[in-house]
Amino acid sequence: MGGAFWGGLLAAMVVVQLLVIWSIRRHRDPSLKIECDSPIDELMPTLAGLTLGTALPGNRVEVHENGAFFDVLLARIAAAQKSVHFETFLWKDGVLGRRLAAALAERARAGLKVRVLLDAQGSKNAGKEVVDAMREAGCRVTFFHKRALRNIGVFNDRDHRKIVILDGREAFVGGHCIVDDWLGDAEDGQHFADVSLHLHGPIVHSLQGAFSENWAGETGELFVGEAVFPPLQPAGDLTIHAVYAKPENSSPAVKILHHTAICLARKRLWIQNPYFIPEPEAIDAFGSAVKRGVDVRVLMPSTSGSDNPMVQHAGHRNFEKLLRCGVRLFEYPHTLLHQKIMTVDGAWCAIGSSNFDDRSFEINDEISLSIADRALAERLDAIFERYAQRAVEIDLETWTRRGTWHKLKDNTFYLLNELL
């Protein structure tokens, strides 16, 4: 038999293998139709149950924006007494990275257990000198899904979470990355905007569990005892549940949470997200929300404000359909808006690491917090309004007249939306 035959056979085998891998890894999406008249803030047990979590009362949160977040984070790390657990996707060598590394190293030298989990792809530029300095001080630094033969089947799966847990008693969750661009106050294109939460109360145990999931997966280590899981008393009056599970043969919990919230909205649904590429089913759900009287708005960076314009172009591909559905779209041209926030009816919010796209919903490891609290929703809506004042609202008539080159980029990059 000739070389052409064997080449064709090999190609066919590769295609079959790819189809098998796809069928194993695919998730069945939930139906985006829910019959329920109850307000979303009364459905926390439902939201928690659907996302494989538990709604925990007795929590307190503080909102921290932009570079001021790191002042609080570094101060609390310095005050830790027993353990520091740090997990992030993006860490680049720079002023911020070296400040943080020094703070972690100092705690390790003081005798604390310091565990640092970095995504191997996102943190590949953390700097050998910085990583070595942490390890020499006693920090245990581990990289998630390193380039290795044993990880070939999961290399595209990234750890996109941003979590810090101190002494098992307080935690931080949000979107902040360890890059100098996150310093400052979003005052120009070199300083990004972001939002993270500082948490106290029983929810900290859930966040410690989320950290343990990937730490144990990479190191095999299970940490136990009061240094990491101390008894926690109520610290406030907020009910929260953490959303991060990825069950086999079903949609990941983060996707279920966001899609359920769309269907439960009755008055207002505001989204702040840097990478907004909803699937067709979600777009239809947005349209249904508008038809039942919901004020649906999305705030995101424009291509000029984004750190990854290809993602914005991929999102542009469905703007016309969204606009025809009645969704209001706002693009911020001045810098990257990196916060990942959804608020519903001024009564509930989700905030965490997840982008509104299927890379986050289906592939990455993410974490979002579901919180029923009107004061917090109001605070987050105020952030939306502040940036929306300087954003450009997209007009349907103008949008349909955008140039051929723009449309070509939109459709081309959309084909890669799960890889961007």
Q: Active-site positions?
A: 160, 162, 167, 338, 340, 345
The 3-state DSSP class for residue 87 equals strand
Residue identified by tokens 């004042």 is 389
Answer yes or no: are the C-beta atoms of 337 and 299 closer than 8 Å. Answer: yes
Q: How does 319-354 read in b/e, with b if 16+ C-beta sit within 10 Å?
A: bbebbebebbbbbbebbbbbbbbbbbbbbbbbbbbb
- For residues 348 and 39, give the distance between their C-alpha atoms in angstroms, rounded to a whole number: 10
The pair phi, psi for residue 341, each rounded to 5°, is -135, 140
Query: Please, which residues have CB within 8 angstroms of residue 378's CB and are 6 or more apart in sequence?
Result: 346
Q: Which DSSP symbol is given to 121?
A: T
- Strands 238-243 and 368-372, by their bridges, are antiparallel
Specify whether the backbone of 399 is left (phi greater than 0), alpha (psi in -120 to 50) or beta.
Answer: alpha
Residues forming a β-bridge with 91: 178
Residues forming a β-bridge with 28: none
Query: Please, which residues have CB within 8 angstroms of residue 5's CB and are 6 or more apart in sequence?
Result: none
- For residues 215 and 141, give the distance between their C-alpha atoms in angstroms, rounded to a whole number: 10
Neighbouring C-beta atoms of residue 128, cutoff 10 Å: 9
- For residues 264 and 349, give the distance between their C-alpha atoms in angstroms, rounded to a whole number: 12
| 350 closest CA partner among 142, 47, 5 | 47
Query: Please, which residues have CB within 8 angstroms of residue 403's CB and are 6 or more apart in sequence?
Result: none
Neighbouring C-beta atoms of residue 225, cutoff 10 Å: 11
Residue identified by tokens 């902040």 is 176
